[in-house]
Amino acid sequence: MGCYASGRNLWLDGWFSSHQSSPTRHCSIPLQLRKPNARLGSRGRTRCFCQNYREWIFVGSSLGLRYDEGKKQPGPLEFKNVYIDPVAYRVYRQTGMFPEGTVFILETARGEEKKEPDLRGSFQKEFKGLSAAVKDKERFPDGWAYFTFSDGLGKTKPRARPAKKTACYDCHRQKGAEDHVFTQFYPVLRAARPRDTIEGTWLPAAAELGGKAFPDEIRKTIKLVVKDDRYTVTVGKQVDQGTVKLDPAAKPKALDITGTEGPNKGKTIRAIYERDGDTLRVCYDLSGKGRPTEFKTRAGTQLFLVTYRREKP
């Protein structure tokens, strides 16, 4: 049964087990949990299905877009349409993060070109394929799982199992701009992303101070938490708290932190920052005298450059 043609239900196998997890936590509104039943089989498992994904939020489309390192011949003209479930969209708009339970649907359509005297351009002809991406770290150890419903020649099967990691996940992890998702190709999500938030929990992956590598054993004890306009930095047991103010219009983007508790109480440190998805780079001038102009440190300065990775929500 071609479920794409009728927008019917898609079943994602192995997503839920009947005794674990509250369905409401994972299943956003458009997904519904079914009790295991004989017809659907598969030993005590329940599955989620995506219903009416064409009523979800449409995030973007592409034409002939693919990574193939120039090896393969270009295939037939193909459009892709991507949808996100509305609950995940709302959370993303507020937090800039995809919540557990996020589902994306990617639908492909054959492209056709018009080269008539009075009609030109490309449009989408019949639908060809269908796949899904699901974020659920309790179910899938890698965090995201990918499903293909395409069943050759425009046919779609109604159920799918998670694909092999090398088939889908690896490329998404390496090339997707944000949390395995290709937001670089989704203008709707880029527009929805909250402006320049650095909210979240950040762990330094690399740091240097005054032209020298910062000792790993200290770096590993550092944690930065930003919530609203407050920051908390813990270094081992020492806690430094205060306010953080962003100026995203500055070039490079500027950030001021003012300590209210702990070693930097009453002190303002000027910094520059740059965020790309789950990576945040900050260069501070710990002397408190000025603001760094580039993401570099030099001997004889108190410039402190840190590359943070966001702890996965």
Q: Is position 12 an interface residue for ligand HEC (rule: CB under 6 A)?
A: no
The single residue among 17, 18, 51, 62 that binds ligand HEC, judged by CB under 6 A, is 62
Residue 292, SS3 per DSSP: coil
Given the complex with ligand HEC, which of 183 and 297 has the nearer CB atom?
183
CA distances (Å), 7 to each of 130, 134, 164, in order?
11, 18, 26
Q: What helix, strand, coil percent values describe the chain, rounded to 5?
A: 15, 45, 40
DSSP state string for 155-169: -B-SEE-PPPIIIII
- The least distance separating ligand HEC from the CB of residue 68, rounded to whole angstroms, comes to 7
Residue with tokens 């011949």, as numbered in its chain: 73
Tell me whether the omega of the peptide bond preceding residue 187 falls within 30 degrees of 0, making it cis: no
Does residue 130 interact with ligand HEC by CB under 6 A? no
Residue from 65, 205, 213, 250 touching ligand HEC (CB under 6 A): that is 65
Contact flag: residue 168 with ligand HEC (CB under 6 A): yes
Binding part of the chain for ligand HEC, among 24-32, 116-124, 142-150, 281-289 by CB under 6 A, reads: 142-150
247: three-class secondary structure by DSSP = strand
Residue 303 binding ligand HEC, by CB under 6 A: no
Q: What are phi and psi of 288, to 5 degrees?
A: 80, 0
| Nearer CB in complex with ligand HEC: 26/80 | 80
- Find how far residue 170's CA is from the centre of its chain: 14
Q: Decide: is 148 part of the binding site for ligand HEC (CB under 6 A).
A: yes
Is 109 one of the binding residues for ligand HEC (CB under 6 A)? Answer: no
Scanning 7-15, 169-177, 207-215, 237-245 for contacts with ligand HEC by CB under 6 A, the matching segment is 169-177
Stretches 38-46, 145-153, 232-240, 273-281: which one binds ligand HEC (CB under 6 A)?
145-153
Residue 167 binds ligand HEC (CB under 6 A): yes
Q: Which of 167, 181, 199, 165 is nearest to 273 (CA)?
A: 199
Q: Report the residue number, 90 or 223, with the smaller CB distance to ligand HEC.
A: 90
Residue 185 binds ligand HEC (CB under 6 A): yes
Task: Assess 280 for contact with ligand HEC (CB under 6 A).
Answer: no
163 is an interface residue for ligand HEC by CB under 6 A: yes
Question: Minimum distance between the CB of residue 173 and ligand HEC, rounded to whole angstroms?
Answer: 10
Compare residues 59 and 303 and give the one whose CB is closer to ligand HEC.
Answer: 59
Q: Which residues contact 59 (CB under 8 A, 6 or more apart)?
A: 82, 83, 84, 89, 104, 186, 187, 188, 189
Is 177:184 a contact under the CB 8 Å cutoff? yes
Query: Within 13 Å of residue 57, how many CA atoms lie on the same side as its CB?
Result: 21
Classify 227 as helix, strand or coil: strand
**Stretch of residues binding ligand HEC (CB under 6 A), selected from 21-29, 90-98, 127-135, 200-208:** 127-135
Classify strands 159-160 and 10-17 as parallel, antiparallel or unpaired.
Answer: parallel
238-247 vs 254-261, strand pairing mode:
antiparallel
User: Which residues lie near ligand HEC (CB under 6 A)?
Assistant: 62, 65, 67, 80, 82, 104, 106, 131-133, 146-148, 163, 167-168, 171-172, 175-176, 181-182, 185
